Amino acid sequence: MKEISGNSFVLYGDICYSETKDKLFTKEGGYLVSVDGVSMGVFDELPEEYRSLPLIDYGGKLIIPGMVDMHIHAPQFAYRGTDMDLELMDWLSEKTFPEEAKYRDTDYADRAYSIFADAMRRGATTHAAIFATKHKEATELLMDKLEAVGIVSYVGKVNMDREAPPELCEASAEASARETVEWLEAIKGKYKLTKPILTPRFIPCCSKKLLDRLGEIQIEYDLPVQSHLSENQGEVEFVRRLAPKSAFYGDAYDYHGLFGTEHTRGKAVNTIMAHCVYSTEEEMQRMKENGVFVAHCPASNINLSSGIAPIRKYLDLGLRMGLGSDVAGGHTDSMFEAICDAVQVSKLYWRLVDQSAKPLSFAEAFYLATRGGGEFFGRVGGFDAGYELSAVVLDDGLIERPMALSIKDRVESAAYCALDLYGISAKYVRGVRIA
């Protein structure tokens, strides 16, 4: 019998996770074994070697993998669900940029990010890719708070040196790059769960010179990248004018090695592009070749009247993909809502746009919110042996019923009834209980 040390335990309950892209594994009364933050798998009967571990009994409750939020703006959490009558470009200039400018004030940032980090702790999300603002001090503060609450995250100080109001625009490409390096140096080795990610806001806000410098910083620090892509028709048209030599929107990132592949050495660059509502065939192909992750953000794409991303096509193409809440274009950090929204918009896409694009099943959307996005973080989003043990325990007894349901129906209903807002009994990240 092998030695088991440290923080190890067994969770007992009704277990559900995505086995494949369209198939849920379910086990009523199963044992999920966690050894030092890593899953040993799910068992009908507890194997002999794990019988000495503490057993935590969640009998009758659901145990599912933690949610992976591929795209969320921490500074926008403060005004989630307000001014939803605006479209993207107006929403940015009238609401978002003035709000983000407040984060030069670290007292304000401290208040706002405390609230955000606590919401991340309490909700169903265990892993997130997060935009901060351009401010390096506030960004470090955010990382401190996320590390303290215990979720796994990538956090980006935002880069933007044009097409933004003076109080939010960085003085020059060089100034933006310098601030970025100073931020990276300040946090070097500081965190276990919280990592930096290069975060050019989007092409309209980043000069060619800035992108050049970010490409260099990417190589020097071996950083992942996150940004926005082909979200809105007006924005895509704007990028066409700003970057006339690019074959398509994403090509403007790719030229600088910020689109999944670092060209001089051909090395992979773990990259998330949020939205991809209006990606052309060429852009899709490049994403596939370069291994770019799509962060599908259905709520945001509705709220900002952007449209509906062709997710069935991306699935068929085999693109890497997850879901993002995109607070505050999205109105909530609930990834359960993101799952349901993903199914819902795919139905409208099928009905109104393309009857050859079969709607997403619940199992497919659940996959995207767990394993799909989880791949960006490593072995995350499932309970297979060797995966990170990050899990959410749900008390779906709060959704009263006159009859019994299958586990699959219970999980689907938990998502549609937004149980992550009021029914989380416990949350574990890498084997540590944080809620």
Interacting residues toward a copy of itself by CB under 8 A: 78-85, 108, 111-112, 115, 118-119, 302-303, 305-308, 331-332, 340, 343-345, 347-348, 350-353, 359, 361-362, 399-403, 405, 409, 412-418, 421-422
Sequence-separated (6 or more) residues with CB below 8 Å from residue 187:
140, 143, 196
Q: Give the count of alpha carbons within 13 A of 116, CB side only.
A: 30
Q: Closest Cα partner for 274 from 301, 252, 255, 248? A: 301
CA atoms of 426 and 69, how far apart (whole Å): 18
Distance CA 386, CA 114 (A): 33
Least separation, in Å, of the C-beta of 330 and a copy of itself? 10
Nearer to a copy of itself, 344 or 390 (CB): 344
**Nearest approach, Cβ of residue 126 and a copy of itself (Å):** 21
Alpha helices in 21-166 (DSSP H): 88-91, 97-101, 106-122, 136-149
Q: How far is the CB of 113 from a copy of itself (least distance, A)?
A: 9
Query: Is there a contact between 36 and 6 (Cβ–Cβ < 8 Å)?
Result: yes
CB 375, min distance to a copy of itself, A? 24
**Closer to a copy of itself at the Cβ: 55 or 418?**
418
- The residue (of 68 and 304) whose beta carbon lies closer to a copy of itself is 304
DSSP secondary structure letters along 269-331: --EEEEE-SS--HHHHHHHHHHTPEEEE-HHHHHHTT-----HHHHHHHT-EEEE---BTTBS
**Burial class of 240 by CB neighbour count within 10 A (0 to 12, 13 to 18, 19+):** middle
Closest alpha carbon to 14 in 420, 404, 416: 404
Q: Which is nearer to a copy of itself, 118 or 384 (CB)?
A: 118
Question: Whose Cβ is closer to a copy of itself: residue 291's or residue 307's?
Answer: 307
Among residues 347, 363, 372, which one has the least CA distance to residue 409?
363
Q: Which is nearer to a copy of itself, 176 or 300 (CB)?
A: 300
* Residue closer to a copy of itself (CB basis): 5 or 355: 355
Q: How far is the CB of 7 from a copy of itself (least distance, A)?
A: 30
Q: How far is the CB of 81 from a copy of itself (least distance, A)?
A: 3
Using CA atoms, how far apart are residues 345 and 74, in angstroms rounded to an integer? Answer: 25
| Tokens 């694009």 -> residue | 357
**Lookup: tokens for 103:** 């984060």
CB of 303 to a copy of itself, least distance (A): 7
Confirm if 374 and 129 have CB atoms less than 8 A apart: no
**Shortest Å distance, C-beta 107 to a copy of itself:** 9
Q: Can you tell me the distance from the alpha carbon of 12 to that of 26, in angstroms, rounded to the nearest whole number?
A: 13
Rounded to an integer, what distance in angstroms lies between the CA atom of residue 376 and that of residue 90? 31
Distance CA 90, CA 101 (A): 16
Rounded-to-integer distance, Cα 344 and Cα 94, Å = 29
CA–CA gap between residue 81 and residue 91 (Å, rounded): 12
* Closer residue to a copy of itself in complex, CB, 103/377: 103
Least separation in angstroms between residue 340's CB and a copy of itself is 7
> Measured from the CB of residue 170, what is the shortest distance to a copy of itself in angstroms?
23
